[in-house]
Amino acid sequence: MTIMGEPIEIVVASGKGGTGKTTFSAFLISFFAERGIGVVGVDADVEAPDLLLALGGAEEEYREDVYDSQVAVIDYDKCVSCGICFDSCRYGAIEWRNGPIVINEMCEGCGLCSMLCPVGAINVKTIKTGSIVFGKTKYCDVVTGELEVGRKHSGRLVEIIKNKARKFDPSYVVVDAAAGTGCPVISSISGSDFLVVVVEPTQYSIRTASKIVEIGKIFGVRMGVVINKYDMNRSFLNHIYEWASKLGIEILGEIPFDESVIRAYSEMRSLMDFAPDSQAARSMRRAAERLLVMLNG
């Protein structure tokens, strides 16, 4: 539930990549901005962010480093190479090369090896998780995250950037989630008000989207479905409607395949700017209007 005075948070997610999730997220942001509605975008795909590209690029205003990860560090002046840390690590983060060596990319920072070390040779230190990047597009401010290579805790980084976005005090926060159902997606959906599930007319897309719906139901989030590239497999449409009806989810709209989307992306321009009267843009606008009615109803 949205607390009075807090922004309404909309998450756009999909069970697989390539469904058009980011394209719809970007259009939704431009749709709100076009109507003078305060909106902030969040790119929650902290491993491969591309929302700014779909919005036509941005000027980076500033960034903040996040130190929220931990790894084990061995003091070799104290280490007696007993092997207890190597035997006890359940994550395979310690290799044996004439003695223990911590593989930072595998270490979860749980601290078990530190507790078990008989000579106190292992400590846990805090390291950089990633960065929060604040950008300004022609439509709104966008907050995104950049996870350090090999670093874990992507879900925690998403939580942090969502909190940063809320501080802009917009009416709406549009979160472009990562594809799939991993930790960053769960963090994206947690605490949100509405979940837009983008699907394609294929069995695989529906199967993976079902997992997104399960997460949404666990968090008690209202949901709606957008069918992208629906005309690529019209015979499958009835199956999608039956699937959505069985789950009690409303279809927000059907979007046709449109080369304008591809051309806009290749030219680093938003669809609203590049082809506002294209078939895809008109269909997305109807879906966005339907979403707005549901949110305000």
Cβ atoms of residues 204 and 16 within 8 Å: yes
pLDDT in tens, the chain (297 residues): 333 468 999 999 999 999 999 999 999 999 999 999 999 999 999 988 999 999 998 888 999 999 988 999 999 999 999 999 999 999 999 999 999 999 998 998 999 999 999 999 999 999 999 999 999 999 999 999 999 887 777 888 999 999 999 999 999 999 999 999 999 999 999 999 999 999 999 999 999 999 999 999 999 999 999 999 999 999 999 999 999 999 999 999 999 999 999 999 999 999 999 999 999 999 999 999 999 999 987
Q: What is the rounded CA–CA span in Å between residue 105 and residue 45?
A: 19
Bridge partner residues of 63 (DSSP): 133
Q: What is the rounded CA–CA span in Å between residue 43 and residue 265?
A: 16
Measured CA distances, 28 to 23, 103, 166, 220 (Å)? 9, 42, 17, 22
> 132 — phi, psi (to 5°)?
-105, 125
For the whole model, what pTM was predicted? Answer: 0.89
Bridge partner residues of 73 (DSSP): 123
Q: What is the rounded CA–CA span in Å between residue 36 and residue 224?
A: 24
Smallest CA-to-CA distance from 25 within 132, 252, 177, 172 is with: 177
Amino acid letter, residue 182:
G
Q: What domains can you pick out in the chain, each with its CATH number?
A: 8-66+131-296 (3.40.50.300), 69-127 (3.30.70.20)
